[in-house]
């Protein structure tokens, strides 16, 4: 579930993340963070209900495109250690 490698983007025509009207300005920090949170929340909820996590893939691809690798790595480690500050 938390393994990025197992959720690699499909080899299809994934255009880059579209314009998100919730984040219209120069500062896209929240765009990256929000999609990261949404992905993990989606996966958690789907797993709770026993459903597949395929619909969560959109959030995964958006944060993979937008978020710097170092940030994703740091947050993933924090989630694994239980020290992640966000609500998932």
Binding-site ranges for other proteins (CB under 8 A):
9, 11, 14-19, 24, 26-29, 31-32, 64-70
Q: Which is nearer to other proteins, 44 or 58 (CB)?
A: 58
As a whole number of angstroms, the distance between CA 14 and CA 37 comes to 21
Q: How far is the CB of 8 from other proteins (least distance, A)?
A: 8
Rounded to a whole number of angstroms, the minimum distance from the CB of residue 52 to other proteins is 23
Contact 30, 23 (CB under 8 A): yes
Q: What's the full length of the chain, in residues?
A: 88
Q: CB-wise, 70 or 83, nearer to other proteins?
A: 70
CB 88 within 8 A of CB 44: yes
């Amino acid at each position: 579930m938390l393994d990025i490698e197992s959720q690699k983007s499909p080899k299809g025509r994934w255009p880059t993340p579209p314009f998100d009207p919730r984040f219209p300005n120069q500062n896209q920090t929240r765009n990256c963070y929000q999609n990261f949170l949404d992905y993990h929340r989606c996966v958690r909820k789907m797993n709770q209900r026993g459903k597949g996590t395929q619909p969560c893939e959109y959030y995964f691809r958006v944060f993979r495109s937008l978020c710097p690798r170092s940030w994703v790595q740091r947050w993933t480690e924090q989630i694994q250690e239980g020290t992640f500050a966000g609500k998932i």
